[in-house]
């Protein structure tokens, strides 16, 4: 008995324990076998294409190994005896005694997956197009139509979560992220038990105890039980040693005239209409209700707002631009490099080899015509100057071709006609592009109802019906209602019907008003009144004739300025160093180096005490005294005291500057804001974006504070302002 025990003990000590054996593949004659590297004993002869598993490392599992022959795997015992036939395109371990199998699908070149046990018996039929083992459970997926549905099975094939989810993925070794049909995720255990509701766009592992969540691309944190730690409201967050730091989104406030300000938190905002804004949030875009930023009209991931025109929004997706409306409906597909809006048309650009890149569309997304254009430029009348095949033509305000594309250049239309260049010559075209005057002129001008041209050494005049009115080899110069001819003897003057006003010739001719020409001959001046054809000789002492306004003409005689009537009679004596044209019954005059004002009776109404004055406009004049500017009325009373370094009058407001700070007055000179801002800008002359110490606000011409001076960026859309405050990292007290 003792001898038998000794022999048994010796056998056990000299034989390797199965579980501790190490196996390795070896090759002979292009085939693969398996041997015990501990004992160097061949376990499986080298007669197979491969030994091991289709996925993972070489190891024996539950005493079994995979063997491959003719692209098919079989399950075999470690001694090489087969448990199954060569049936599987894939074979690898799942848990103890269970293996994942893949079989070529009957309906595609892909695999269908299931499981078998170590005896080769089917546990899960090969009905799934995708599987992922997680510990001892299996995430499975089956294609239903174009969509894949996901579920969860235990190792025995029992259903833990039915095949009704859009996606299931492992977050860590104990937790799953499950996505429902609405695109929202919830947290689940490996046993298929929910830890949270379906509330989030994304759930990702943050650390061993917490998960990062996203809701409309705003970040927060939950714990392993699904409890909220940080609500999903932030652009970014950090949690270290129990302390939370969060970075809020830009804080936007919407200011309107008829409602209280509304606040939203996003990267950027664009006003769509009075109720909706387009938003950009961490790379995603949407259209939300101003009163409730979680009420989405439209939401899209990985898209960026470029710009908008009211309810049409240009959005970039995968590097290309398209257009959507406020509900998210595609107006133009995402296939363009650039898109530009105009009032009644939009132009979309796609790069082409011939550089014909721009395509017109109406605002519903319907293409206009079949043409492409190299370049588009809007004109003042709303039409478009376009370039096609290196030729210029016109599109109307709605994007339709208005003229043929045969021109080298088209100038602005005046009274229904435009000068056009064609093959180096100039002609005149009608709005439809037809020639009124064919292009054989070197240069053309349209003045009133007359067309003046030069062709080689010939000069001439046509009417608008292309009837020749005048022709000459001498240069002609057009004015309003008259023109001059420069002959060897001097200038001759004609009306627009080519009637010569006087047989005389002149040394120079110039126009001071539509009804008056100044004629100079041998240093003598005359006035020609075009409407009456009368001429009036001026005093022989006249040296200059300058401006005309309110029936009086400024003249210089004996180096002093005065005024004559339309008949050339001296009305205001020449006794001023300088004199400006009359405006609102007063003329600015300079005496002894200072400026004041006189009336048409040559009476000084405002004493000459100023360094500088401007002519009156709307009852006010800018004046300078003691090197500072102010504003006076027609009586010489200060409306704005002379305390400003600069005073710039615009049509509807006055910009004031003092000590490099700016203020505003209305057009009547009423002070709206004293100089207190670093900058003032306006696009409508009603609302003014002002800045101070790097912050921006809005005041209007009535003096109301539309937006406090507390924001980093302000966008204006009509009477609505979107004001943004940048946010920094802050510490946050958490729920844990």
**CATH architecture type of domain 407-473:** Beta Barrel (2.40)
Of 12-16, 309-313, 559-563, the least confident: 12-16
Close Cβ partners of 8 (under 8 Å, ≥ 6 residues apart): none
Mean pLDDT of all residues in 439-450: 92
3-state secondary structure of 270: strand
Q: Tell me the CB-side half-sphere exposure of residue 437, using CA atoms within 13 A.
A: 31
pTM metric for this prediction: 0.83
CA dihedral 285, 286, 291, 293 (to 10 degrees): -60
Rounded CA-CA distance 442/437 in Å is 12
Residue 375: predicted pLDDT = 95
Instruction: List the structure tokens of 14.
Output: 């000299």
Residue 17: predicted pLDDT = 38
Report residue 318: phi and psi, to 5°.
55, 35
> For residue 459, is pLDDT > 70?
yes
Handedness of CA 79, 84, 88, 92 (dihedral sign): negative
Do residues 730 and 713 touch, judged by C-beta distance below 8 A? no
pLDDT tens profile 63-105? 999 999 999 999 999 988 999 999 999 999 999 899 999 999 8
Q: Tell me the CB-side half-sphere exposure of residue 343, using CA atoms within 13 A.
A: 10
Residue 201: predicted pLDDT = 93
Q: Where are the domain boundaries for CATH 2.40.10.480 in the chain?
A: 407-473
Q: Order across the sheet with 628-633: list the strands.
A: 612-613, 620-625, 628-633, 638-644
Mean pLDDT of all residues in 29-54: 94
The DSSP output letter for 379 is: -
pLDDT tens profile 595-604? 999 999 999 9
Rounded CA-CA distance 731/726 in Å is 16
Q: Which residues pair with 579 in a beta bridge?
A: 589
Q: What percent of the chain has pLDDT over 90?
A: 88
Q: What share of the chain is helix, strand, coil (3-state, %, to 5)?
A: 0, 60, 40
Rounded CA-CA distance 78/146 in Å is 42
pLDDT tens profile 364-423? 999 999 999 999 999 999 999 999 999 999 999 999 999 999 999 999 998 889 999 999
Do residues 521 and 528 touch, judged by C-beta distance below 8 A? no
Instruction: List the structure tokens of 324.
Output: 């959507």
> For residue 474, is pLDDT > 50?
yes
Q: What percent of the chain has pLDDT over 70?
A: 97
Mean pLDDT of all residues in 18-40: 88
491 C-beta neighbours (distance < 10 Å), count: 21
> For residue 1, is pLDDT > 60?
no
Rounded CA-CA distance 659/111 in Å is 79
Residue 144: predicted pLDDT = 85
pLDDT tens profile 616-669? 999 999 999 999 999 999 999 999 999 999 999 999 999 999 999 999 999 999
pLDDT tens profile 547-566? 999 999 999 999 999 999 99
The DSSP output letter for 9 is: H
Q: Order across the sheet with 391-395: list the strands.
A: 375-378, 384-388, 391-395
Under the banding of pLDDT at 50, 70 and 90, the label for residue 736 is low
Mean pLDDT of all residues in 493-497: 96
Q: How far is CA 333 from CA 115, 288, 324, 327, 347, in A?
A: 45, 22, 9, 15, 13
Q: What is the rounded average pLDDT for all residues in the chain? A: 93
pLDDT tens profile 235-278? 999 988 778 999 999 999 999 988 899 999 999 999 999 999 99
Rounded CA-CA distance 144/63 in Å is 38
Rounded CA-CA distance 52/595 in Å is 106
């Amino acid at each position: 008995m003792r001898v038998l025990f000794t022999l048994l003990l010796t056998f056990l000590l000299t034989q390797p324990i199965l579980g501790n054996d190490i196996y390795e593949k070896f090759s002979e004659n292009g085939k693969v076998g398996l041997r015990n590297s501990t004992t160097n004993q061949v376990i499986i002869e080298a007669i197979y294409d491969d030994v091991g598993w289709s996925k993972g490392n070489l190891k024996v599992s539950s005493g079994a190994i995979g063997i491959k022959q003719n692209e098919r795997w079989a399950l075999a015992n470690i001694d090489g005896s087969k448990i199954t036939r060569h049936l599987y395109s894939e074979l690898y371990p799942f848990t103890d005694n269970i293996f994942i199998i893949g079989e070529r699908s009957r309906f595609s070149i892909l695999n269908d997956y299931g499981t078998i046990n170590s005896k080769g018996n089917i546990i899960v039929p090969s009905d799934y197009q995708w599987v992922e083992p997680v510990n001892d459970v299996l995430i499975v997926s089956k294609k239903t139509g174009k969509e894949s549905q996901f579920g969860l099975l235990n190792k025995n094939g029992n259903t833990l979560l039915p095949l009704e989810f859009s996606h299931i993925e492992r977050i860590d070794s104990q937790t799953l992220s499950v996505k429902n049909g609405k695109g929202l995720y919830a947290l689940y255990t490996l046993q298929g038990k929910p830890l949270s509701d379906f509330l989030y766009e994304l759930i990702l592992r943050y650390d061993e105890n917490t998960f990062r969540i996203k809701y409309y691309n705003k970040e927060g944190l939950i714990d392993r039980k699904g409890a909220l730690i940080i609500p999903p409201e932030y652009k970014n967050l950090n949690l270290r040693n129990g302390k939370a730091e969060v970075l809020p989104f830009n804080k936007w406030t919407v200011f309107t005239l008829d409602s209280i300000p509304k606040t939203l938190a996003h990267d950027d905002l664009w006003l769509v209409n009075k109720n909706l804004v387009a938003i950009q949030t961490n790379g995603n875009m949407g259209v939300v209700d101003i009163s409730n930023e979680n009420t989405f009209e439209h939401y899209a991931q990985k898209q960026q707002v470029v710009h908008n025109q009211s309810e049409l929004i240009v959005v970039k997706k995968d590097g290309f631009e398209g257009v959507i409306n406020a509900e998210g409906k595609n107006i133009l597909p995402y296939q363009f490099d650039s898109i530009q809006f105009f009032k009644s048309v939009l132009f979309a650009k796609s790069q082409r080899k011939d550089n014909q890149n721009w395509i017109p569309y109406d605002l519903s997304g319907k293409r206009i015509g079949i043409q492409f254009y190299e370049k588009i430029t809007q004109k003042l009348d709303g039409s478009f100057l376009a370039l096609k095949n290196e030729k210029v033509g016109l599109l109307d305000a709605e994007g339709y071709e208005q003229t043929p594309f045969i021109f080298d250049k088209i100038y602005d239309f005046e009274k229904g006609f435009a000068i056009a260049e064609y093959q180096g010559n100039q002609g005149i075209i009608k709005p439809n592009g037809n020639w009124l005057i064919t292009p054989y002129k070197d240069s053309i001008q349209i003045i009133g109802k007359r067309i003046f041209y030069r062709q080689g050494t010939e000069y001439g005049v046509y009417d608008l019906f292309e009837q020749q009115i005048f022709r000459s080899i001498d240069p002609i110069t057009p004015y309003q209602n008259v023109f001059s001819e420069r002959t060897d003897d001097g200038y001759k003057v004609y009306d627009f019907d080519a009637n010569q006003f006087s047989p005389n010739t002149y040394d120079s001719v110039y126009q001071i008003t539509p009804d008056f020409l100044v004629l100079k001959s041998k240093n003598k001046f005359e006035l020609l009144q075009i409407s009456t054809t009368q001429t009036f000789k001026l005093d022989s002492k006249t040296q200059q004739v300058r401006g005309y306004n309110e029936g009086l003409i400024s003249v210089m005689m004996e180096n002093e300025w005065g005024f004559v009537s339309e008949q050339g009679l001296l009305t205001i004596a020449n006794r001023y160093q300088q004199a400006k044209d009359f405006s609102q019954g007063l003329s600015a005059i300079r005496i002894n180096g200072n400026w004041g004002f006189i009336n048409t009776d040559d009476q000084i109404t405002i004493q000459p005490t100023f360094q500088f004055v401007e002519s009156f406009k709307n009852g006010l004049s800018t004046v300078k005294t003691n090197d500072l500017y102010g504003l006076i009325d027609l009586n010489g009373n200060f409306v704005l005291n002379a305390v400003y370094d600069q005073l710039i009058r615009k049509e509807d407001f006055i910009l004031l500057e003092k000590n490099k700070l700016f203020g505003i007055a209305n057009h009547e000179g009423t002070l709206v804001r004293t100089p207190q801002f670093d900058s003032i800008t306006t696009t409508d002359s009603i609302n003014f974006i002002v800045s101070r110490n790097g912050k921006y606000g809005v005041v209007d011409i009535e003096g109301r504070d539309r937006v406090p001076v507390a924001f980093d960026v302000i966008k204006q859309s009509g009477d609505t302002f979107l004001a943004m405050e940048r946010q920094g990292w802050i510490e946050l007290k958490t729920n844990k």
